[in-house]
Structure 1
């Protein structure tokens, strides 16, 4: 089906001159996903300025049968915001809807629109001595709507949970153009299903998030970031349990990476330096935080925690940050792993989880297995050991045709990784979503009953299948 000029003229009348463009130079940068795997086409790019404009546009799309592909910062990892190659869909940019409507200091919550960039949100609430406790490497481009639609995780899930746990209220436009508006949170509300949870993590296939009320927490009075070197991931798991016992809720981050990842980062960031002398099989970044009531004793408690870790042979070496600058430098090393890996060449990336207690055995069992099955590859795992989620990358041997390797060997490797994850009782998508990348794998490996429920909800809300077609289900 070719999108008609009648539709485009009516859409332009709804959105105004700033709200609809067909200019190829303006649209084309948004037609390829962040990883460069998918490039599509669109009949136009819509940029509504309000929920009301979007609702009118969605009604128009429903009347004309025009598919809609919602997009936030276009920083997703699974191709979930890229249209297909037909050119029939309208690309929906939410970036103009970027107002922070209200910061309620007393209630510790913020209501903001879907196009607000995560870093902008952080800065706005920090001015009120509050904090939004979710962060990730793409905070300078990721938007609130995209984070909600993919149920993003990041580095603070260990203490605060994923996006799903931080959304108190939601506003969204449904596939028929109706507006679901439940922004005012209630501690208790037992009027049936928690409908906002149907939209969180649905990747724009069941509704388009336009605004949300989010949980805030008090600003940090102080933090200590610890970099430790140790011999194995199994020891890292024991160190995690030790830190949880001694730090309790003050433990906010626990990230792991092998020496190979640190080597790649130091090549990627020539001005950076390794936090520790010598080389270690595994490196751990630990963040411990304090509010004003406990800040005075934070460093002493961290020193005691690590001294006991040394006594228990849980670490070979460690250093505690002595300033905020050094703390940020440690985090920069962790957040640079993904771009550093991209520079190394072709690889297949997997965002997987298994039960936390099984992760060390999973990595130590499957890494040599996969490297033996595909000689010349290198398997690396890094990420959020505290919540059982690692990014599991298989780096190609030196090849002349990277795309061909990814299409052939890479596809077979991913299938094998997903089979192993499923055997170990895990998930093939821990925090990046399904999108296009894992849609077929979800259909192959997902629980049939769960998949039938997903499809039933999708068909009930979007019977024409116009919202983000070809993604998730």
Structure 2
């Protein structure tokens, strides 16, 4: 059972009474009915890629780990309705391939897409690199099939874009982290497949220039702008140091970088738009240098630099991580003030912010000082949180942009949600799971 009982960051290790692997929704429902009757807690798990401990059982050894990996059937693909219905255990990469097979596009894209699953993506309201253009996971779902704690199956599956018949039960379960019900299948939105795609890497002076560049590219590319990622020089240097095959795309170093992706819906459209946009951006002083990928391999290599940030930090030593969001126009000021406050309290620590600037989501990670002892640095996690999350609150942001709450941020939730919001959340939990058997100790 070991592979199911710890999570990628190695922060949480649990024990389980059993790992149960049902093969269909009916089996999931029967399991929940039995566990509800006996008062046995159930922890749902998809691909086990979550980063806040939401999929990990506690240390008691009395909880059942419910793996959804065998619920992996494609139930329907309907390109005319731009919809597909998949079971919860289908991996995100396979979902993308299914869409591709009917000349459609499913835009959810994460670094873990080869192993994360649709059920987990929806249960955590996953974000990823294309939220700027298509929204987060909750924006991509039309309907759900959910096993409730008492063993009933609730279905809102369907391909309707308009259905104004009461409460939106579908959205109730998206982002609920398995605490209200277990998602067993979903109907997802499909989109026209882009006919061209262009990726560019730009060197910048500072985050203020990145904000100006973002607005400039929005004006020129419009809805074709798929992604706008921000990263610092120190983050890129870690990738170049630790990731085999990584190369610096530009001739000279720059303090900050932007990675942009533009899509077009005719052949060559994206390339024409991005080439003209880059020329004008450089002339306007929004960027110092730029590289436009000339092949799919080059585009993949540029994305690999961004997606390797977390792995490079892991190889560098201890890293205190924050998945936060602030209003986009306040990102430059936030980064400056966060750096100042961290330097005042942890002079040798290395802030390495990166992430989805286009939608306001930053992974504000802080790496240990060179030569420091990892355990001693990580022991300061709560103090670092106080600084970063305190500043997030000042800037009207969120302490969890896309990773969820899980165990890691459960105690923080009470500090950022109003008492009324928490009361409503607890009332929903009590109504749908009165015996508290669904993923206890997570989120609430």
TM-score higher than 0.5: yes
Contact 1:38 1:82 survives alignment (8 Å)? yes
- The reply on whether 1:365 has 2:337 as its aligned counterpart is yes
Q: How does 1:218-297 map to 2 (within 5 A)?
A: 218-292=192-266, 295-297=267-269
Counterpart pick for 1:306 among 266, 278, 281: 278
Contact 1:347 1:410 in 2 (8 A): no
Task: Tell me how far apart the structure 2 counterparts of residues 417 and 283 of structure 1 sit (CA, whole Å).
Answer: 22
Contact 1:415 1:441 in 2 (8 A): no
- Residues 187-219 of structure 1 show CA distances to partners (whole Å, capped at 9, x for unaligned) of 222221101111000000001000000011122
Q: Any conservation in 1 of the 2:147–2:153 contact (CA below 8 Å)?
A: yes
Contact conserved, 1:118 with 1:144, CA < 8 A, in 2?
Answer: yes
1:436 paired to 2:407: yes
Aligned residue number for residue 45 of structure 2: 71
What residue in structure 1 maps to residue 93 of structure 2? 119
Say which SS state the counterpart of residue 260 (structure 1) adopts: helix
Alignment gaps of 5+ in structure 1: 1-26
SS in 2 for 1:236: helix
| Matched-pair contact (CA < 8 Å) for 2:43–2:57 | yes
CA distance in 2: counterparts of 1:446 and 1:109, whole angstroms: 34
CA distance in 1, matches of 2:431, 2:386: 31
Q: State how far apart, in whole Å, the 1-side matches of 2:291 and 2:360 are.
A: 24
Q: How far, CA to CA, are the matches of 2:2 and 2:28 in structure 1? A: 22
8 Å Cα contact 2:156/2:169 also seen in 1: no
For the residues of structure 2 that align with 1:421 and 1:297, how far apart are their CA atoms? 39
Q: CA shift at 1:403, angstroms?
A: 3.1
1:178 maps onto 2:152 in alignment: yes
Runs of 4+ off more than 4 Å? 398-401
1:21 aligns with none
* Aligned-pair CA distance for 1:270: 2.7
2:77 aligned with 1:103? yes
Taking the aligned partners of 2:4 and 2:372, their CA distance within structure 1 comes to 28
Per mean C-alpha deviation after superposition, the further-off stretch among 161-170 and 306-315 is 306-315
Candidates 323, 327, 330, aligned match of 2:302? 330
**Aligned residues: CA RMSD:** 1.1
Q: How many residues were matched structurally?
A: 444
Are positions 1:449 and 2:420 aligned together? yes
Which of 425, 431, 438 is the matching residue for 1:467? Answer: 438
Q: Determine if contact 2:203/2:254 at 8 Å carries over to the other structure.
A: yes
Shift of 1:401: 4.4
Give the Å deviation of 1:397. 2.1
| Offset at residue 35 of structure 1 (A) | 0.5
Give the Å deviation of 1:404.
Answer: 4.2
Aligned match of 1:49: 23
SS of 1:176's equivalent in the other structure is: coil
